[in-house]
Structure formats: structure tokens, C-alpha cells
Chains A and B, each alone.
Chain A
Amino acid sequence: MYYNHNMEKKFSKYLNGSCSPDEFSEVLKSICETDDHSKVTAEMLKFWKDTLRAAIETKENSQLLDKIHHRIALEESKTVVRRFAMYRNLLRVAAIFIVGLITASVLLYNRHDVPEKQVYAAIIEKVTTPYGARTSFMLPDGSEVWLNSGSTISFPRQYDKIRNVELSGQAYFKVVKDGRPFMVKTSKGNVEVMGTSFDVKSYENENFETTLVEGIVKVKDNTSQTGTLKPGQQAVVTPANEFTMRDVNIGLITSWKDGKLMFVKEPFQHVATELERWYNVKIELQGDRLKRLGYTGTIEMETFSEVLELINTTTPIKYKFNKNTRVLKIYGIDKPDNKL
């Protein structure tokens, strides 16, 4: 028996699993050559052409297809955000408008494909806002969504019997009534409504908060604790699964959707977390006492340096900001903190 030395035979033996060990190492060697014109590349091209002509069994993978659609949506929002970052401080409002517009046009475009209802029900749209960006747009049923920084929302292109959206992060919903229930799913619990306006906040490692503005909503957390909210009420589920309901100032909670951050005696630690997301920076608080400080104030469409100035003049702090790492270090000044 003789052993043939040309690559064509070796490669087809490799594919068929009938190599001898030395043929196997030769194919591997050729694979490891990073030269584009390696012998094995030519054989692979032949194999690809055969594959295109061959009768290949159909193979479905809707999960992967969903992932691809998600990635495509993500890549496209990245392009927008990259452009957006250049004018971050000048054109914040305009950029939010652009993101919203693009998303809206995607949705509008999909609408005139209504006959293929089933196909579209299976397709999941995803919208992601990176830190430092916010957006608002309309869902397929006409409900409006405002998406806060560092949040992701996904929903089918076409709703079936239940209007489902999945959320991580924070969003404000203005749901239109159309007879079908509207369900917000998060990793921490679900919120079910018919037609109303409400805010859902579900960031990792933070409280899960649902705030009702008008209408009625039902909140159910992962441990099946439920509560029905009236307007002006908020349901809070802590990371330790403590479920409470309380009356809140709605304007304070939902101000972010109008481009404002409002705080009333908010622990500085929380303020820092919000600012991190809002401005895409990393904030390090130096000293425990600082974390316990309360901050009261409204931040409205200011640039980050303006915000720093503002906090600096209204609170006894010093800060250092590294523009390259985007890390902000805040130090407390040693004097009684009763001014806040």
C-alpha cells in the first residue's frame, strides 16, 4: 500500500476521518500556516463549493437568529453612540432625538409587513442604551417607552395575546389600552398592567422598584410576593427580597425621562450611582462619612464638568477627575455635614 502525498486527498481524508497520523499532522501544519494561499485553503474552497451545491438538510436555530438580530441592533446603536460621544456635551438632546428617530423608523418600516404575522412574532427587537445615553421610542402596539442609561429592552416585532417586554435597567412606560395585558419582565420580577404610565427600575445589585403614575399595576417578584399599586405608590423589592410599598414623589422618580436628575436628601452613594450611569463615568467615594451624606438638587442637561462644579459649590466636597480613565474621585471635607 502506498501513501499519496497531495493535499487534496489528505484533506478529504481529514474530512472523512480516515487520515493516517502523519497525514493528520500535515493537514494541521497547513492549517497553522497563516498564509492565505496555503494548500489547505484551496481545498477548503473546493469543499465550500461542494457544500453550496449539495443537498444539505435544513437546520433551524431561532435562538441564534435572535442573537444575530440583537447584535445587529446593538452594532447599529453603537454607531450612533460613537458619533454621539464626540458631541456628548454639546448635542446631548439632539442625539437622544436621533436615536429615538432611528428606532422609530425601524419600527415603522416593520409595520407594513403585517401579513407575515407569525414570522414577526418570533423576531425579537432589542434596544440598548449604553451608559451616558438615553432614548425614547414607540413599541409595536403604540405604547411609548423611555429607556434610561445602561438599560436594555427587548420585545417581539409583533405582539400576540400578551404584550411582552423584557427589561434590564430602568424604563418609563406609557402603555396604550388595547384589551391585551402588557407585561414587563425583569430578572427580579414582573409588572403587569392594562393601560397606564409607570416606571420600572431593575438594575443588577440594586432595589427593584416599580412606580405608578396613573392607572393600576400588579407587581410580582421572583419569590411570588405580589402587590397592586395605586398612582403615586412605589413597590420596592430589595436584593434580599424584602417587599414593601410606599408613597413617593412621582416627579422625583420619573424626572430622568425628561432629561433631569432630581434628588431630595438622597444618600450620596445613590447619587453617585445615578451619575455614573448618566454620564458614563466611574465614581469613587473616598471615606464612609461621604457615602452617608444626603444630596438635594436637580441636574438638568448639564455637562459633566458643570455638574461637578454644581456639587462642589453645594456640598462640602473636593474632587479629582481623570479624563482618560473617566474616574472621578470625591473626597469629603472635614466639617459638620448638617448643611445638606
Chain B
Amino acid sequence: MEKNRVLTIITIEKIIHRLKNDDKSAVDELFGYYYPRLYHFSKSILKIEDGIDDILQEVFVKIWLNRYKIGNPDTFNAWIFTITKNEVLNLIRNNLKDQTFKDELFLRSVAEEYQTQNFIEFEEIKAGIDKIVTSLPEKRQQVFILSRTEGFSNKEIAQQLNISEKTVEDHITHAIKYIKNSMKEMGIISLLYFYLFL
């Protein structure tokens, strides 16, 4: 990994050098290296792919226009981060006025067990989930807590528990199913309760 990083830095240094010499073909290599990374970065935050290419087009044009001011690879990476991050944040801020975008973002960022058609108070769901989780089998409970409480990705959990990523996914899918079913039962109960007092 460290060796690769050194190699990468040398490559980036070369690209920067060529950019400063007005070599337009250096843009192609810059693109080859940064585009997949910037795309991954932007998509993870934006969740929605619409508009990412427009943002990244701006980023690459800005790099070219400011090529004489580029410093070393580390400051260059930090600078690329700043311009991309600002573009991404601006896009989110502008799009948040749009309810469909907001819903989509919610759908893709919020854990599945919270995605319910019922208009139950979120606090109520949370309390319900907390209770149901304790009755999950031990391993499944551990995986679920690492994901939902500690915020680890499936890959990280797999590494920590020394199990496959697929197993982690299965545990989580089953946990969600179990929680949703249990909540449905709870929902029916509360609905009956509601009718009784009407």
C-alpha cells in the first residue's frame, strides 16, 4: 500500500508538471486517475448520480485554469477535495428545496427498518426497534449493532468478525425482516387500541 502511494505521488507529480507546461494531454491522465475517485466520493455523498458529471466537469476545467498555482501532490489533493466538496454541498443544498430529492436522499441514507408506510412517530419506531433487537440471535444482534450503532460498513464488520461480507449482508437482511414483522404486529395492536378509544 505504502509503495503504491509513493508511486502514485510520483505519477501525480509528473502530471502536475505537464499541466504546468500547458500539456493538454495531461488532462487525460489526470482524468483517468481522479475521475473514478471523485465519482465514488461524490456519489457516496450525493446518493444520486444526476448532476455528478456536471460537477466533475467543472472540477477538471478549474484544475486546468488554475494549473500554474498547483503545489505538491498533497496540497493538490486537498485543493481538489475543497472544490469538489463545495460543488457537491451546493448541489445538495440547492436540491433540498425539492421534496422528491429529499425523499430519495432519505430512502438511500436511512436504515431500512425505519422505512415504513405507517405514519408512526419516529421515537416510537426507535423504541420498538431497540426492544426487538434484544430478541435477535446473538451473532445477528452483534452484526446489527455494529452497523446501526457503531456505523461500520458491511465490509468493516466482516473484517472485524472474520466472516464473509455476504454473511454480514444476510444477517442484516434477516434482522430487518424480523424487526419489520415484529413492528407490523405492534402496529396492528396500536391500531386496534386506537379504534377502541374512538
Report which A residues bind B (CB closer than 8 A): 1-4, 8-22, 24, 27-28, 31-32, 41, 44-45, 47-49, 51-54, 56-59, 61, 64-65, 67-69, 71-72, 75, 106, 109-110, 113, 116, 119-120, 123
Contacts and interface: CB of A to CB of B under 8 A. Distances in A.
Interface in B7-45: 22, 24-25, 27-28, 31-32, 35-37, 39-41, 44-45
B178 interface: no
Nearest to A11: B151
Given A20-B126, A47-B44, A31 B92 contact: yes
Given A61-B53, A71-B57, A17 B111 contact: yes
25 contacts: A1-B148, A1-B149, A4-B149, A4-B150, A9-B149, A12-B153, A15-B44, A16-B147, A20-B111, A20-B114, A21-B106, A32-B93, A47-B44, A48-B77, A54-B40, A58-B32, A61-B35, A64-B31, A65-B27, A65-B28, A65-B35, A68-B64, A69-B27, A120-B25, A123-B25
B48 interface: no
Q: Say whether chain A's binding surface is mostly helix, strand, loop, or mixed.
A: helix
A56 B145 contact: no
Contacts of B152: 12, 16
Contact of A15 (B22, B39, B45, B145): B45
Contacts, number: 141
A18 B147 contact: yes
B81 A48 contact: yes
B111 A113 contact: no
B41 A47 contact: yes
A17 B151 CA distance: 9
B61 interface: yes
B85 interface: yes
A69 B31 CA distance: 11
Contact of B53 (A18, A51, A57, A64): A64
B3 interface: no
Nearest to A3: B149
Contact of A57 (B1, B25, B36, B111): B36
